[in-house]
A and B are shown apart, each in its own frame.
Chain A
């Protein structure tokens, strides 16, 4: 049986019918992890014994005819900022090295309840701050299409592991593009649901008003399937939306064409793109038109302000959210007798340079004299950006375009300035400021045979529409079926 040819839903059915055992399925992925992760470095923590034991347990119970949850025995992996009580949660930082949470994140709990078995925790940019995965304190995850290149970030391990089929799905987070951009770089499917759709309880906060959990998978269909488990209301998260568990069912009625669908293309969205990437995106647009969609121009008046506004808000919230790592209660502590000294050395040692930079910026922005000038103004522009989205969605169903200006870049590329690095976020941060949903699907290959991602952006809680359109595009084009040749492969 070629496990890689099956969707999650189909694997669940095979397990249920006992045509496939969970032991085989989990074992299959553990073998791949053992074989390939030594070079890819996608996982920060693996629990093969624990996973196999759980798989065998499900198999036994199933053999006895016990009624099991619908995803019993399916493997998954979690980005290392989703806290779990059975594995460490480090945020890829020295600050939380070896930290084991006393409780489980709601998402982790929901996954377990649905029957998913966690293979381990996935690498990321430290505290989810970065677009390349390089700010991880522990290791740099490679892009499986080219090991000399970054997988994108911050969900570096998630996108890389899903692309390399070291897990069928990863639960990740997206604050300014951290699901969609690495999904594009690695040629996989990445969904950022609407803010509030997936509980943030137990997700280590980066920027609370922007953070959102979502899946990275090998298909839109799989993303919809997993959303039925993730989309539960959580009373422990004040910003949690009402439950929704019919994503997959609604996708089944998707149809085969995009007739009547209007896709908005913002003015100037395709300028300044890498040439090969631009061609791939343009071809994708043509493909959508062939399927019956109409491409319409939309105005995005404040798009250029998106990046600075995002940085103000994200850094301010991050500075506040990361203040709790003071060495008093958990995590790294510099054992020094004086309180002030203990605080400052703990934080100096525990945080990496990118995290410190953002904390300092965020702290400055919130100072009494600056608050009005920066933070309040950023919040006002954020409201205007939301209005811009509202206007755009009066003219179109989804906004379509690239997810990055170029393909995955090389590690330590000194030709890329910090500013250019941040510009990577240009195509993704606006959606987080709006709070609505978006998805990246692979749409071909460009420079150096690297994958290109196509991004669809939808309105608030418009996941059904988003998934339907992305799914029809995907099943017609089939770009998601390409699997990278991995180092250590026999092929």
Chain B
């Protein structure tokens, strides 16, 4: 079998998290009662006209700036025509000929180092509604929910530069991270605020011409994107190595069966009859406006990761995890302001805090443990005021009650006994009360040290600083 190489380009639709829809004032919120966020405009009633929501354009520009795009000062909205019950006007307003962003790129960390994946463009468009197919008595009927109709989207089109399903997954994850940094979308694939179509073709290694591409749709998670592309690469490679051909078509991913199935061939492709929407003037952006939006772009994950490694001495892996969400990185750096222990705090966030975040599906700022508390906790442990084991107890209590580490340590009487005088007193009384064992230790039975440590700990109700107890015992028993 010949060796094949995959050529993959992704078209990613991202819902912008504006308060209202892109061409009317209806709420763009997800999950409301069907047809409760609708008006004559987004339902395409006779006589209605679109008015661009400027906030949507701002967010599209912010996304473009975060992805290194060339922001277009002049872009045009076009109509894309097709009939479907969830498309109220029978055309979608999109940007075909003059999109708002051109170019741009995204760096991904592959096993073999960093790769730059170039973007073709980003354009704005409106979402369609949703069909709900009736069940039971309503079987055979379909209902339309227009809540989603006209929710703002951007479509981010990559160049066909991805070479594996793994890279596609990394690209998507990175894209999600960056877009969440600039807060233009929550990029939730399950809720549909990030949707991905993949163009996949294969060619023999060494070949420079592109193979016939197949578009895959209907992938609802990062995992299914990866699986669908893996399947498609295998399917196409097999077809070609058996002397067959790959047809240019659109295929749907069947997640349950783990295969792609033909949806429509190129001959049946729609002619969308694109033309500029005469109801909307071109979107013009001034340099000042673009600059103003550029100033809203925070430090992005690539740069932040580099800084975390250089400034705080974190490993690439730890830095990656901490910059994967802007909130994580912000939380981390806020904690460092209280107690400058970059590695200690990083470890506590990654091992303990993120477990709570994931288990309880909370934001990192919502766990009840503010960054100051984590810092305080690490400081308590590092100063020897409490043990690492006690630290975990304090952490669990803080999650449960929201109290500060100081308060918990105080209330539980947890702080370690590190007072030398007091410890000497306990040690001396223990030695006094156990003359036989003292004699045996002095005669070389050194394993009895543990016996003494145990007694001291018992006497101090577990609060004695174990390291100090050890030292004092050794010194006293000499």
Contact = CB atoms under 8 A, between A and B. Distances in A.
Given A201-B47, A239-B281, A329-B44, A324 B275 contact: no
A363 interface: yes
Interface residues of A, number: 44
A330 interface: yes
Contact of B88 (A202, A208, A329): A329
Given A317-B278, A323-B91, A238 B49 contact: yes
Interface stretch (B11-19, B78-86, B324-332, B385-393): B78-86
B46 A96 contact: yes
Interface in B224-275: 271, 273-275
Q: Which of B47, B52, B89, B281 has the most chain A CB atoms inside 10 A of its CB?
A: B47
Contact of B85 (A209, A328, A371, A375): A328
A237 B24 CA distance: 11
B90 A201 contact: no
Interface in B268-294: 271, 273-275, 277-281
A204 B43 CA distance: 14
B47 A316 contact: no
A393 to B, nearest CB: 23
Contacts of B90: 323-324, 326
Interface in A291-321: 316-317, 319-320
A326 B52 CA distance: 25
A367 B274 CA distance: 8
Nearest to A342: B85
Nearest to B44: A324
Nearest to A330: B45
A330 B47 CA distance: 13
Nearest to B146: A329
A421 interface: no
B17 to A, nearest CB: 23
A339 B85 CA distance: 9
B83 A238 contact: no
Contacts of B50: 238
Contacts of B321: none
B104 to A, nearest CB: 27
Nearest to A234: B49
Interface string A350-371: 0000000000000100111001
B48 interface: yes
Interface stretch (A63-71, A98-106, A422-430): A98-106
B350 interface: no
B45 A102 contact: yes
Contacts of B448: none
B83 A83 contact: no
A441 interface: no
Contacts of B277: 208
Contacts, number: 97
Given A326-B83, A367-B273, A202 B44 contact: no
B51 interface: yes
Contacts of B83: 323, 326, 343
Interface of B is mostly: loop
Contacts of B144: 328
A320 B40 contact: no
A85 to B, nearest CB: 10
Contacts of B281: 238-239
Nearest to A205: B47
Contacts of A101: 40, 45-47
B278 A209 contact: yes
B234 to A, nearest CB: 33
Given A317-B278, A343-B83, A366-B275, A200 B45 contact: no
Nearest to A322: B90
A200 B144 CA distance: 28
A236 B51 contact: yes
Contacts of B81: 320, 323, 366
Contacts of A236: 49, 51
A105 B275 CA distance: 26
Contacts of A105: 47
Nearest to A363: B273
Contacts of B85: 326, 328, 339
A328 to B, nearest CB: 5
A343 B89 CA distance: 14
A200 B50 CA distance: 11
A204 B144 CA distance: 23
A102 B40 contact: yes
Contacts of A371: 273-275
Nearest to B86: A328
B94 to A, nearest CB: 13
A212 interface: no
Given A320-B273, A323-B81, A329-B44, A208 B279 contact: yes
In order of increasing CB-CB distance, the 10 nearest A-B pairs are: A323-B90, A209-B278, A366-B273, A208-B278, A202-B47, A83-B47, A204-B46, A324-B44, A328-B85, A324-B89
Given A82-B47, A328-B144, A366-B275, 8 more contacts: A101-B47, A102-B40, A105-B47, A235-B51, A316-B275, A326-B83, A329-B43, A371-B274
22 contacts: A82-B47, A101-B40, A101-B45, A102-B40, A200-B47, A201-B49, A203-B47, A205-B47, A235-B51, A236-B49, A236-B51, A238-B49, A238-B281, A320-B275, A323-B90, A324-B88, A329-B43, A339-B85, A343-B83, A366-B274, A368-B271, A371-B274
Interface of A: 81-83, 89, 91, 96, 99, 101-103, 105, 200-205, 207-209, 235-239, 316-317, 319-320, 323-324, 326, 328-330, 337, 339, 343, 363, 366-368, 371, 375
